Structure formats: structure tokens, C-alpha cells
Amino acid sequence: MIYLSFLLLGLGAGAVYAALGTSLVVVYRSSGVINFATGAIASYTAYTYATLRSDGKYFLPIPWLPKFISLGNPMSLWPAMLIALATAGLIGLAMYWIVFKWLINALPLAKIVASLGVMIVLQSLVGLRFGTESLPVGPIMPAGVLSHGDLRLPKDRLYLAVTVVGIAVLLWLFFRFTRFGLQTRAAADSERGAMMVGISPHRIASLNWTLGAVVTGLSGILIAPIVPLTPGGYTLFIVPALAAALVGRLTSLGPTVITGLLIGALQSEITKFQTFSWFPKSGIGDAVPFVLIILVLFLRGKAIPQRGMSFVASLPHSPRPRAVLPTAGVGFVALVIASFLLHHQYRAGLMTSMSAALIAMSYVVVVGYVGQISLAQLSLAGASAFMCSRFTTDWHVPFPISVLCSALVAVVVGVIIGLPALRIRGVNLAIITLGAGVALQSAWFNNNQLNGGVSGAKVSNPSLFGLNLGVGSGHAYPRVQFAIMLAVFVALVGMAVASLRRSRLGSQMLAVRVNDRAAAAGGINVPMIKLTTFAIAAFIAGIAGSLMAYQSGNVSGASFDVFLSLSLFALVYLSGITSITGALLAAVFFPGGIFYVVLSNWVDPGGYFDMFTGLALIDAAIRNPQGFAGRLQELGRFVGRKLDERKMRALPPPGPEGSGTGGTSPGPDPLTKEALAPS
């Protein structure tokens, strides 16, 4: 009976997952966006509600304006909820009109990146206003406990679950029986078809985005008395919500709601199991959504139906690197010179950027070359970093074998995470790998039994042939020797990734990226290529992770946080995920990297750095949905065309007979003309 009680206790959290999942479905159907900011909207709305209730103040999001405007005395439940929900609706509407309207025909990846940008902005806004403290919120649902024999169930959980199920049923009826619902379903099937029959895609999207945000906001408000309200605390709800929505294939509300409730119940049940000595003390609950999505998607093997977009864009061209050795040589020398020239925090910033460059290159391999969206590369680095601590302190493995061993562990984990890629593509895979990252983070990096506990996961100093390569401490930090060692790794890995693109394997990877069925038809062993890719990318990320471990001396889970991972992914994507240039560019702008250090010394960005990163991501996603490097390529082609045209103009004007051979003039093909000339 106690087990059943725990299951039912999870209905509260489950209801929130279900509500957020519902909102994800509503938004995805109307505009093809997987809104990663859903959890952040819940959090934002809950804060708005909480401050209205406690002080009667309305929370203003715009920096440099007053933080709050006072609306008089503390408000009662209904007006506060109404204002908060209206705010949520406005956020949803604004998200569509300011951001996603411009991305209608963009790659799904560009939409993901933009929604990550919105998530970062919303989260940092709340963080800037409320710091890290949690805000108490009074009960909304009736208190008390229902009991039947041994079975006990808090009433608020039950009412919350019933409310969410009720909302889902209402939404279902709305989409089933109203004209607007019919139009939304039509647009989800074929956006072009919808336009052809006179349906405005903006109207459909506007209302659905508003609706989705209101449902999200409501669940945020309702859960606030049950789960403590902290900035960023609700943002992670997105992972179980995504799992639920994925089971509903991002199109059906029923399975989404049921799965959401189920995940909550299972997680709660696991807290019961944690009382047993044999059961891991933390982390397993967060792994539930991940395991569940894998099971469901893998067993079902069906992908999310591709939403009927007007046009389908593709990843930008991946340029074939030329002069690999000289370029790597020059780059290495430049990094070494920079390491000597820069001091103190600048050198540390350079080091962080160099490690980030390695992880970014692992993204180039797995996403840029093979088109498999993995969001877990930083988490793989984390796995390697914690292993590096084990290898060096517990087993006394010397450098650089320690790096190699830890990277190999990352390979094992990476290949396991990559396994679903054999059956699942695109955005689904992105969600699975994100789930994997969260699972790693909570089951390993933040698990006191595995992460070194209070004393932390220490890493011994690296040295090679008696030469101290350590990063140093106190005044010696950061030593130039460590920076040079990082530069060696960056140059070597850069060369390897460039050569990979030029190799036969690289060509096969690109073939898989374009179309894996066509690649298979062309005789390429697609599963083998995919797993090899995940292995190579994990190895690179693993190297980065253990180097980061050596740099910090004491590995902390915070360095490999899932949200940091998402920011890095977004940065790499927008810098140009198909080329090494793009990876290096992303590394420069990585939080804590060289740009951050320079900026914070020049103007103090304070807490605003995150917000500006988010805004920059959104802006870049709208302007360059193909990534910055893609834009450069386009520019190159444009210049090339102009040069060609100039060359053509410089030539003597062609006679009427020669018009078919040159330039853009499409006169009759001389060959056909000759072949078909009447005899």
C-alpha cells in the first residue's frame, strides 16, 4: 500500500509534466517549434503570480527599468492568477511574433537554437530579479489528506492532476470541434495546403502559442505551492515534459498527458526505493524520462511525423579543408604566442576557450558531418572528467594515458547514447541525447556516492617526462605550460577532424547526413558509420573533459551542467556547426572563455552576460538560421558569381550561334541542334 501511496504522491509533479507536455504539443502542431523555453515560461509566470500575491507588485522584465511596479496591496487569488496568466499569454504571443515567425521555413535545428535562446533569456531575467532564493507560495488547492486504509493521498496533488487532465480534455474538444481547431490540424498536416485554402499561418500560430503559454503558466502557478519556486528550478521540467510529448509523438494530447502523469508517479516511487540500502541514493529519478523515451521510441521505431512545412532547409555545406598541416601549424603557433602574451585571467579564458573548442569540434563531427543531433557532448566530457579524477587519484594512471583512458570511457558512454540513433533521427534524437545528459548529470555528476562527495573529485597534477604540465595554483595559476599543452591538443584534434572530412569515411558520413536511406542504397553501412561517429565525437569530447579536469584540479558537476551544454550547442550551431572555423568561433564566445573575460574587464556585464548570450542567440538564429559559417559560404558564392558575371562581360559579345554555350543565356543547345537538324 505504501508503494501505491508514493505512486499517487507523484501525481503533482506528473501533472506539471503533463501540462508542459500538452503545451509542447500545442505549439509544435501550430508552428513546428519544440519550445525548450516551456519550463522557463512556467517559472516566469509562477514568479509573477507569487509577487502579486505576496506584495501586490508586478514583475517587470526589462533591465534598467524599475524591477517592479506596485499595484497596491497583496492581491487575492483570482486577480493575481488572471494577471499572471495574461502575462504568460503575452510571452507566448511575443515569442511567436518576435522570434519564431521569422523561422517558419528554417531548419528544425535553427528553431531549437532560437528556443534555447528564449529559455536562457527568461531564466536569466528571473535570476536577475530574484537571485537564488526561493519564494514561498501559499496553497491554492484545498489542503488535507484523503486516506483509505493505508493509502494516503494529499488532496492538492489529486486536484492538480484532475485540473490538468480537465484542461487537456477541454483542449482536445476545442481542437476536435471548432473551426479554429480544424484549421490548426490542417496546418499541422500541410502548412502549404493551409495557405492554399486561405488559412493564415500567423493567425494559427499566434493563438496556439498564446494558448500553450497560458497552459504552461497555469501549471507553473499551480505547482508553486508544492514544489519550491526557485529561478531555473522549473526550467528542467522541460525534460520529462519532452519525454511525455515525445510519447505522444508531439501531436496527440492523450498519450502525452498519461505519460506525463506516469513519469511523475514513477519518480515519486523511486524516492521510496531510495530508502533501501541497495538502491542508488540519487539520480535515478531523473533518469526515468530518458529510459522511458528510449524504450518507447525504440520499441515503436516510429519517428515524429515531420510537420508539413512549406520548404525544408538543409544543413549548410561542409567545406573540404585545404592545407590541413600548414593551417594547423599556423594556428598552433598563434595559440602558443597568445598563451605567452596573455596573463592571469586572460590566459585562463584562453584555456577555457581551448577546451570548449575541443567539445565544439566533437559537435562538428557528430552534427556537422553526420547530421545526428546530439546534445550530450558536454555531458560526455563530464563523464571523462570524473573518470580522469578516478584514474589519476585512485589508480595513479600517469598523464597522458589518463586522458586516453578517460576518453575511452566517454567513448563507451557515447556509443550507448548513440545507439538510439540507429532507429531514431532528427529532433527525436536531440531530445533523447538531452535526456541522456540530464541522466548523467543527476545519476553521476551530482550523485554524492560517485562524484567524490564532500571532498570533491580531485585530479593529480599532470607531468610528462618529469616536466610539470600542471595549471598551477595561487600566484602560479594559470601556468603557460598547461596552455601550450592545450594548444597541442587543439591542433592535433583540429587536424584529425579536418582529415576526417577529407577521408573516405568523411565522405560516407556526409552521405549519411544527406539521406541515410540513399547512403545505405549506395552500399554504405549506415549503422556502422553512425556508431563510429558517436565514438569519435565522444573520444574528442572525452579528451576535452579530462583536460578540463586537469585545469580545474577538482571536478565539479557544475562545469558540465546540461544548460551549459545547451548553450554551447547553440553557440556552435550558430557559429557554423559544419566546419572547424565555426567550432573555433563558438569557443571564443563560450561562457568563461576569452571573449567573456575581455568583455567583463571592459564593461562589467554582471549578471547580464547570460541574457545577452540568449538575445544574441535569438538574433543570430533569425538572421542566420543556417549558421554564421553558412552565411560566409553564401557570401563567397555571391562574390564568385559576381566575378563570373564580370568575366562574362569582359568577353566579346557572342554571336547568335554561340549563345547556347556560355553565360546564363539558355538558347537552344547546339548539340541538340546539330543532332536534330533536318537532313
| Cα 351 to Cα 380, 450, 462, distances in angstroms | 19, 27, 15
Instruction: Report in angstroms how near the CB of residue 327 gets to other proteins at its nearest.
Output: 30
Q: Does 105 bind other proteins (CB under 8 A)?
A: no
Query: What string marks each residue from 581 to 620 as x (binds other proteins by CB under 8 A) or -?
Result: ----------------------------------------
Instruction: Report in angstroms how near the CB of residue 649 gets to other proteins at its nearest.
Output: 15
3-state DSSP: the chain helix, strand, coil percent, rounded to 5?
70, 5, 25
Q: Which residues pair with 135 in a beta bridge?
A: 229
Q: Which of 466, 523, 652, 656 is close enough to bind other proteins by CB under 8 A?
A: 656
Confirm if 226 and 156 have CB atoms less than 8 A apart. Answer: yes
Find cell 557544475 and name the residue: 558
Segment contacting other proteins by CB under 8 A, of 78-86, 432-440, 620-628, 660-668: 660-668
Q: Does 491 bind other proteins (CB under 8 A)?
A: no
Q: Does 554 bind other proteins (CB under 8 A)?
A: no
Distance CA 561, CA 379 (A): 7
Q: Which of 395, 523, 666, 674 is close enough to bind other proteins by CB under 8 A?
A: 666
Q: Nearer Cβ to other proteins, position 280 or 667?
A: 667
Count CA atoms closer than 13 A to 191's CA, side-chain side: 19
Find cell 509562477 and name the residue: 46
Q: Nearer Cβ to other proteins, position 196 or 454?
A: 196
Q: Does 253 bind other proteins (CB under 8 A)?
A: no
Q: Does 645 bind other proteins (CB under 8 A)?
A: no
Segment contacting other proteins by CB under 8 A, of 207-215, 225-233, 380-388, 654-662: 654-662
Confirm if 544 and 355 have CB atoms less than 8 A apart. Answer: yes
Query: What string marks each residue from 257 to 296 as x (binds other proteins by CB under 8 A) or -?
Result: ----------------------------------------
Four-point Cα dihedral 405, 406, 410, 413, nearest 10: 80
Q: Which of residues 297-326 bind other proteins (CB under 8 A)?
A: 308, 310
Q: Which of 333, 598, 635, 676 is close enough to bind other proteins by CB under 8 A?
A: 676
Q: Which residues pair with 148 in a beta bridge?
A: 151
Instruction: Report in angstroms how near the CB of residue 230 gets to other proteins at its nearest.
Output: 41
Q: Beta-carbon neighbour count of residue 261 at 10 Å?
A: 24
Confirm if 260 and 244 have CB atoms less than 8 A apart. Answer: yes
What angle, 0 to 180 degrees and rounded to 10, lies between the N-to-C axes of helices 179-189 and 201-223? 110
Confirm if 387 and 373 have CB atoms less than 8 A apart. Answer: no
Q: Nearer Cβ to other proteins, position 162 or 635?
A: 635
Query: What string marks each residue from 172 to 211 as x (binds other proteins by CB under 8 A) or -?
Result: -------x--xx-xx--xx-xxxxxxxxxx----------
Q: Which of 148, 277, 664, 674 is close enough to bind other proteins by CB under 8 A?
A: 664
Q: Beta-carbon neighbour count of residue 302 at 10 Å?
A: 12
Q: Does 672 bind other proteins (CB under 8 A)?
A: yes
Instruction: Report in angstroms how near the CB of residue 205 gets to other proteins at its nearest.
Output: 12
Count residues contacting other proteins (CB under 8 A)?
Answer: 34
Distance CA 107, CA 117 (A): 16
Q: Nearer Cβ to other proteins, position 80 or 194?
A: 194
Instruction: Report in angstroms how near the CB of residue 29 gets to other proteins at its nearest.
Output: 11
Positive/negative CA dihedral, 600, 606, 610, 613: negative
Distance CA 378, CA 564 (A): 8
Segment contacting other proteins by CB under 8 A, of 360-368, 395-403, 576-584, 662-670: 662-670
Q: Does 652 bind other proteins (CB under 8 A)?
A: no
Q: Does 579 bind other proteins (CB under 8 A)?
A: no
| Cα 434 to Cα 277, 375, 566, distances in angstroms | 29, 5, 9
Q: Nearer Cβ to other proteins, position 70 or 661?
A: 661
For residue 170, the one-letter residue type is: L
Nearest to 220 by CA among 431, 17, 11, 434: 17
Q: Nearer Cβ to other proteins, position 600 or 659?
A: 659
Q: Which of residues 503-542 bind other proteins (CB under 8 A)?
A: none
Confirm if 79 and 161 have CB atoms less than 8 A apart. Answer: no
Instruction: Report in angstroms how near the CB of residue 296 gets to other proteins at its nearest.
Output: 21
The per-residue b/e assignment along 392-425, b for 16 or more CB within 10 angstroms, e otherwise, is: beeeebebbebbebbbebbbebbbebbbbbbbbb
Interface residues toward other proteins, by CB under 8 A: 179, 182-183, 185-186, 189-190, 192-201, 308, 310, 638, 654, 656, 659, 664-669, 672-673, 676-678
